[in-house]
Amino acid sequence: MSLITEITAPDGHKVTLNTGLFINNEFVAGSSTIDTINPATGKVLASVQAAEAKEVDLAVEAAHKAFYGGWKTSNPRERARLMLKLADLVERDGEDLAHLETLDNGKPLSNSRRGDIPGVANQLRYFAGFCDKLHGKVIETEGKLSYTVHEPIGVCGGIIPWNGPMLMLAWKIAPAIATSNTIVIKTSELTPLSALKIAALIKEAGFPPGVINIITGYGPKAGEALSRHMKVSKIAFTGSLATGRAIMKAAAETNLKKVTLELGGKSPNIIFDDVDNLDEVVFWSRLGIYANAGQVCCAGSRIYVQEGIYDKFVEKFKALALSGKVGNPFEEDTFQGPQISEGQFNRIMNYIDIGKKEGATCYLGGNKVGDAGYFIEPTIFTDVKPDMRIMKEEIFGPVVAISKFKDVDDVVAQANDTTYGLAAAVHTSNITRAITISNALEAGSIWVNCYNIITENSPFGGYKQSGIGRENGEYALANYTQIKAIKINVGNPI
């Protein structure tokens, strides 16, 4: 049985892909297959091999063997060289990867090219720089030589979502490999294609067998098996709150593996009436909610506008929302592509109905776009109340609720009135106010006079039920290392 397939994009670009499970540097068959769907058309793109418990065990055993077979004590410069080589290959095959990402996920091709490809390469290069900089400390302790060393954890598991497949793959792989761990990645069953292409590049870059393994499978089968595997010492997950809880439970019931979680959000975007340029605020606010068709964990889905400029903001925001083309992600002028799946489409439309029934005003949108695919109009709700579900629950789509506020205390209380705490934004020309509000908001990332600025060198993660731990930046390294303290008696008498 051949695992090779050729996929042709609407613009004629062809990509040849191995659809097997990438285990021990080889593509192998799985227990079953999964059809991956083009969300812009609703049609099957390819059939990929799917892992169940048996294949998860093979991947973990390969990673375990690689870790104790030399990778644990690998030369830091060699790890860095391999990571830098992989970054070069990602850029070399950027067109193939961008086309696969857009076909599988639905995001505009321009975004895949200009955001995701550089983002993956930058992530690999940034963490490659840490390979030879994992230093401990010498500690003065009463005549004993005391020092610490940072050691790798072992076999790591990574479970990545469908809304940013390539970037989330890099977010998990880069810090794990830089710190001498091996890893098994489970992709989303909805978006496996770009990860499989990167798997081939991992082998081409020269990584030893078993160091990086990439499998596709359903959560209840492959994800559960990975989370419960006794030879997996750490799990990193990005996705829903419900799945995050299940992973924590699995870790607790097995070997108490370390867990980092990046979960959902219901992020507030606060706009004061002293902003210098309202058009810029509207630009950032649209990007904050409608980027990636609203399928962003830190999306600014609650916009709070001070009452003095509320009407003007809503008018300008509506006009800009209407100006963004919703449609074929392979057309250069498309701003918003489809939702990822029929199930997600139906979930979002249900929330739109809930908002209407609860008494909010559907000020803009709320409808399906076109006859094929899973496209939804950019949607704006006004006249919303704090206890409405569209203000409380993560919708994960192009739906925003806009509310007005009077003063600082009022808006901070509303912004923090959520079980989530992933991100927030403040727009003001008053630097003192910006700092004061940023300090008061209960969220892991605060953007001032901008939105959705996420880089490889800054930590990202949540407060409250938005997660545990941080990804990106030097802070991420702590999630992939353990600290050993060594004390040596240097001749002092008992």
Q: Which residues are catalytic?
A: 262
Residue that is written with structure tokens 């390539």 in the block? 166
Q: How far apart are CA 192 and CA 35, in angstroms?
A: 10
Asked if 386 and 405 touch (Cβ cutoff 8 Å), the reply is no
Distance from the Cα of residue 260 to its chain's centroid:
13
Tell me the two tokens of residue 292: 């990636």
Asked if 54 and 233 touch (Cβ cutoff 8 Å), the reply is no
Question: Of how many residues is the chain composed?
Answer: 494
3-state secondary structure (DSSP) of residue 308: coil
Q: How far apart are CA 65 and CA 53, in angstroms?
A: 18
3-state secondary structure (DSSP) of residue 458: coil
